[in-house]
Amino acid sequence: MKTETYDILIAGASTTGAWFAREMAKRGHKVLVIEKQKEKDVSREYDIFHMEKYEMQKFGIELPTEGDKEYGFEFGSTGGKSPYGNYEKFGVGNPIVGMHKHEQIMKMNRKAEEAGAKIIYGAAFTDFIYDENGKIIGAKYKTARTEKEVYCKLVADCTGIPSAARRMLPDTSVVENKVLDPKNIFYVVLYYVKYKDANVDPMKLHTFFLNYKAWSAPSGDPNGAILGIGGNYGYEYAEEIFKDFRKNVPWPEYTVEKIEKGMTPYYRSLYSFVDDNFIAMGDTAQLTKPTCGEGCSSSLYQARIAVDVISRLLNQGKELTKENMWPINKKYMEVQGKDFDALRPILMGIVRCTYDEAEYMFKTDTLFSQKILGGGGNDLDITPVDVANILKNLAFGVATGKLRGEYIKAIVKSLTQFIKVAALYDKYPETPAGFPEWKKKADELWKEIGSMGDTCDKNILAKLGKI
């Protein structure tokens, strides 16, 4: 076996790996990226994806323009519609770019190479290399022809849901080594449709239906759209719920031209991303938006903190121990982690309603409100006054027979859990020394909260043999 030495080895060259590689290489660090897929097959799982323009700019990602291979189209962020389609909450209209994923990722990878990173395609991470004290000092990878070893100061796992490196960590690691259970994965089915009536304007139909976790988004075809649906446990569950959506929501007739499927994490973030000479990033670290499961830009908030902390440590000649890298955990919880994870129980509570109850709440701007649905999960700031108003409107709904008492109990519980998560994440430990005690409390709290998978229809799951 041949050996090579780098500052950083990144496993996975998709959005997170490509961005991290570029930023670290730009700062003068020696970076190797290994990507399991061959160059022509990278990020082919689905075609169109979106990023908000202001987020691309924030993270220094070049905006594509018409004529570029990766460019698809532009539109504004949407809000959400009620289960029977009668009421709508409008999005803030942030400009969004739709891009072809493979082309965009290859562009990001080329930028990383221009900055000095080396990328090897068709090379899959297989295991860590440890020193005699059990410290990570490198990684092994496999290509079609050979197996190799690379020595490095840090292994960054950017391999998405498979978590190829993270899952090899010992049980003693402060980074969880379990891969996501199907219950905690969002299985997405995308129907690329063409409307039968040429007068249908798809741009006027774009919206999100939280109660089905379904949406309509542009496809780039002036007479077509992408109808998407996501569900926990498997694609079959999502497809079953899609039948409800089709039955309940008036929608123009269409033909399905193409179907794509893919997975995204739908669970709280890892408690710790770092251990000695290791960091988990992107989907591996479960950093997707709680409202919709998108992760291309939300992952970069943690990645940017990681760039600052790790680059500084390398420049100072310091070791990349978990103690030295701990500020990445702490800062992330402040910047995004607390907001995302505190929102999860609220979302789980609000989707426990019936379609009729949701229709009523859309009408009265309660929970399915302009503030919660219109913000798209970004910078959500729910104040105690908001909570008091929600409780008042819910009480009125029960008094008038529009809402079940059982549902109110679920909501009150979820609001209490929201407060508990926020309070616990505010006390995220400053150093690894305080972590075991914090983790014990977090484990108890998340055991009580559960996950979005718990809100799935048990009858459908039983019919599909999932439970």
Ligand X SMILES: Cc1cc2nc3c(=O)[nH]c(=O)nc-3n(C[C@H](O)[C@H](O)[C@H](O)COP(=O)(O)OP(=O)(O)OC[C@H]3O[C@@H](n4cnc5c(N)ncnc54)[C@H](O)[C@@H]3O)c2cc1C
14 binds ligand X (CB under 6 A): yes
The stretch near ligand X (CB under 6 A) out of 33-41, 272-280, 360-368, 452-460 is 33-41
106 binds ligand X (CB under 6 A): no
Candidate residues 78, 184, 219, 264; the one interacting with ligand X per rule CB under 6 A:
264
262 binds ligand X (CB under 6 A): yes
The stretch near ligand X (CB under 6 A) out of 21-29, 172-180, 238-246, 259-267 is 259-267
Instruction: Kindly state the smallest distance separating residue 116's Cβ from ligand X, in Å.
Output: 20
21 binds ligand X (CB under 6 A): no
- For residue 357 the two structure tokens come to 């109850």
Residue number with CB closer to ligand X (119 or 460): 119
Residue number with CB closer to ligand X (259 or 395): 259
Any idea what the Cα angle at residue 215 is, between residues 199 and 184, rounded to 5°? 160
Instruction: Kindly state the smallest distance separating residue 102's Cβ from ligand X, in Å.
Output: 10
H runs (alpha helix) in 148-253: 235-248
64 binds ligand X (CB under 6 A): no
Candidate residues 8, 190, 229, 241; the one interacting with ligand X per rule CB under 6 A:
190
What x-and-dash track marks residues 282-311 binding ligand X by CB under 6 A? Answer: xx----x-----xxxx-x------------
The stretch near ligand X (CB under 6 A) out of 7-15, 144-152, 383-391, 404-412 is 7-15
Candidate residues 29, 30, 50, 344; the one interacting with ligand X per rule CB under 6 A:
50
Identity of residue 301: Y
Instruction: Kindly state the smallest distance separating residue 284's Cβ from ligand X, in Å.
Output: 6
The stretch near ligand X (CB under 6 A) out of 15-23, 199-207, 311-319, 422-430 is 15-23
Candidate residues 22, 29, 30, 36; the one interacting with ligand X per rule CB under 6 A:
36
* Phi, psi (degrees; rounded to nearest 5) at 193: -115, 160
- Name the helix (H) or strand (E) containing 332: helix 322-332
Residue number with CB closer to ligand X (193 or 296): 296
336 binds ligand X (CB under 6 A): no
Instruction: Kindly state the smallest distance separating residue 159's Cβ from ligand X, in Å.
Output: 4
| Under 8 Å between Cβ of 408 and 394 | yes
Instruction: Kindly state the smallest distance separating residue 131's Cβ from ligand X, in Å.
Output: 22
46 binds ligand X (CB under 6 A): yes
Instruction: Kindly state the smallest distance separating residue 350's Cβ from ligand X, in Å.
Output: 22
Q: How far apart are CA 443 and CA 176, in angstroms?
A: 12
188 binds ligand X (CB under 6 A): yes
Instruction: Kindly state the smallest distance separating residue 216's Cβ from ligand X, in Å.
Output: 13
17 binds ligand X (CB under 6 A): yes
Residue number with CB closer to ligand X (31 or 296): 296
Instruction: Kindly state the smallest distance separating residue 12's Cβ from ligand X, in Å.
Output: 3
- For residue 40 the two structure tokens come to 């022509």
Token pair 């123009």 in the structure block, residue: 252
158 binds ligand X (CB under 6 A): yes
- For residue 387 the two structure tokens come to 């909570």
- For residue 349 the two structure tokens come to 């509570």
124 binds ligand X (CB under 6 A): yes
- Window 416 to 435, contacts with ligand X (CB under 6 A): none
Instruction: Kindly state the smallest distance separating residue 161's Cβ from ligand X, in Å.
Output: 6
Q: How far apart are CA 376 and CA 92, in angstroms?
A: 8
With a CB cutoff of 8 Å and minimum separation 6, the contacts of 453 are: 181, 183, 184, 232, 233, 266
Strand order in the sheet with 95-100: 48-52, 95-100, 71-76
| Under 8 Å between Cβ of 77 and 378 | no
Q: How far apart are CA 9 and CA 31, in angstroms?
A: 6
Residue number with CB closer to ligand X (160 or 397): 160
* Residue 156, helix vs strand vs coil: strand
202 binds ligand X (CB under 6 A): no
* Residue 367, helix vs strand vs coil: coil
- Total residues binding ligand X (CB under 6 A): 37
**Closest Cα partner for 353 from 289, 290, 397?**
397
Q: Which long-range contacts (CB under 8 A, 24 or more apart) does 23-27 make?
A: 23/60, 23/115, 23/303, 23/304, 23/307, 24/117, 24/307, 24/310, 24/311, 25/112, 25/115, 25/116, 25/117, 26/115, 26/116, 27/307, 27/311, 27/315
Burial class (CB in 10 A: 0-12, 13-18, 19+), 212: buried
Residues contributing to the site for ligand X (CB under 6 A): 11-17, 34-37, 42-43, 46, 49-51, 124-125, 158-160, 162, 164, 188, 190, 262-264, 282-283, 288, 294-297, 299
